[in-house]
Amino acid sequence: MNQEILTDRQPSQSEEQGQHPQPHGAFTQEHAPHDQLLQQGGGRTPASSGHLRRKITLIPLVFLIYFEVAGGPYGSEKAVRAAGPLFTLLGFLVFPFAWGVPESLVTAELAAAFPGNGGFVRWADHAFGPLAGSLIGTWKYLSIVINIAAYPALVADYLGGVAPAVAEPGRTRTGTVIGMTLFLSFVNYAGLSIVGWGTVALGIVSLAPFVLMTAMAVPKVRPRRWASQVNGRKDWRLFFNTLFWNLNYWDSASTMAGEVERPERTFPRALAVAVVLIAVSYLLPLMAATGATDAPPNAWVNGYLADAAGIIGGQWLKYWTGAGAVISSIGMFEAQMSSGSFQLLGCSLSRLG
């Protein structure tokens, strides 16, 4: 009976065409265009645009991650005020590796597994379904919009030290903020390659005064100053909030994975370099400023690093450090706007909008 069935069975259409039947859920040709578009990063393909799209390489990606996460040691002063120099130095030594390394490893692995734009939105979509992907995309984008809106206003506040009218409410300040927002948005529109190399330049210029301050502080450092204690009880909530705020968002650059050259190799290397760069950019200036000045922890308010630079190197270094805060704000605006833009692109390509 079995022999009769075997001999009488007619070949299927796929067998007649010399094809093997595919299991359920296998990748088929009709799904190829959409999946390839996601992996290429979306938009026009090289063939349709007539030229190869320029992708970002290791160094620009390192500084994009740097500005996504930190942007410099600005804002770390409150940790000294909350818990004192010693705990602050320990925090910025341990936290980048205890928190940053695991999150970086997750980001590197998933960015290599999903080498397209959208990043964590696509991860949530594949893991938990389109509702989760849509929700995380919406919430994160709103967070980015609210966050980057503060940077032009912050730059205007810094510029108020040179042009007081810019810091005062009125038409001058409003025009400055709007003009800066439009200009920086246009730079972002010009392309991620331009933004990437722009952040390299911004990063070097904003870090340079801290390199000089650290070098000039070496003969003035007294290790006993690192043991200074705060008056009263330590504010652990403010301390850990400051650490977390200054060392978060390692996954933000994943939304641009489709624009990275060989992301399976570039992302792990860039994240590894960024972890070390960010840890050093906090730790060394804080060691220099707390070890070379006699200011008590209560004097450490936002902007004190510029005052410490003035004490260590003179007024010219103080002004350069203050200007570095403006440059850092511009870099963070550009990096986060890029991340948000490609996140939206990933949402649209994944049909999560």
Domain assignment present for 171: yes
On whether residue 15 sits in a domain, the answer given is no
Give the total number of structural domains in the chain. Answer: 1
Indicate if the pLDDT at residue 36 is higher than 90. no
Q: How far apart, in whole angstroms, are the C-alpha atoms of residue 125 and residue 316?
A: 51
- 67 domain residue, yes or no: no
pLDDT score, position 65: 95
Rounded-to-integer distance, Cα 215 and Cα 51, Å: 47
Q: Which domain holds residue 148?
A: 72-349
101-106: list long-range contacts, CB under 8 Å, 24+ apart: 101/275, 103/250, 103/251, 104/250, 104/271, 104/272, 104/274, 104/275, 105/271, 106/251
- The answer on pLDDT for 347 being more than 90 is no
Q: How far apart are the first and last CA of the chain?
A: 57
Q: Lowest-confidence range among 5-14, 123-132, 246-255, 309-318?
A: 5-14
Tokens 């009976």 belong to 1
Place of tokens 């979306």: 42
DSSP string of 20-77?
Answer: PPPPTT---GGGHHHHHHHHHTSS--HHHHSSPPP-B-HHHHHHHHHHHHTSSSTT-H
Read off the pLDDT band of 21 (50, 70, 90): very low
> Does residue 325 carry a pLDDT above 90?
no
Summarised one tens digit per residue, pLDDT across range 116-144 is 888 899 899 889 988 888 888 888 888 88
Task: Using CB atoms within 10 Å of the CB of residue 63, give its burial: 0 to 12 exposed, 13 to 18 middle, 19+ buried.
Answer: buried
Q: Is the pLDDT of residue 19 over 80?
A: no
Q: Over 90: is that where the pLDDT of 69 sits?
A: yes
- Say if residue 6's pLDDT is above 60: no
Q: Which of 95, 68, 67 lies closest to 251, judged by CA?
A: 68
| Separation between Cα atoms, residue 179 and residue 246, nearest integer Å | 28
- Is position 45 within any domain? no
Does residue 282 register a pLDDT over 90? yes
For the cut 80, the answer to whether the pLDDT of residue 213 exceeds it is yes
Contact 255, 120 (CB under 8 A): yes
Evaluate whether residue 154 is within a structural domain.
Answer: yes
Query: At 105, which CATH number?
Result: 1.20.1740.10
Q: Is residue 167 part of a domain?
A: yes
Among the listed residues 317, 328, 60, 75, the one whose alpha carbon sits nearest the alpha carbon of residue 202: 328
| Residue 290 domain flag | yes
- Asked whether residue 4 is domain-assigned, the answer is no
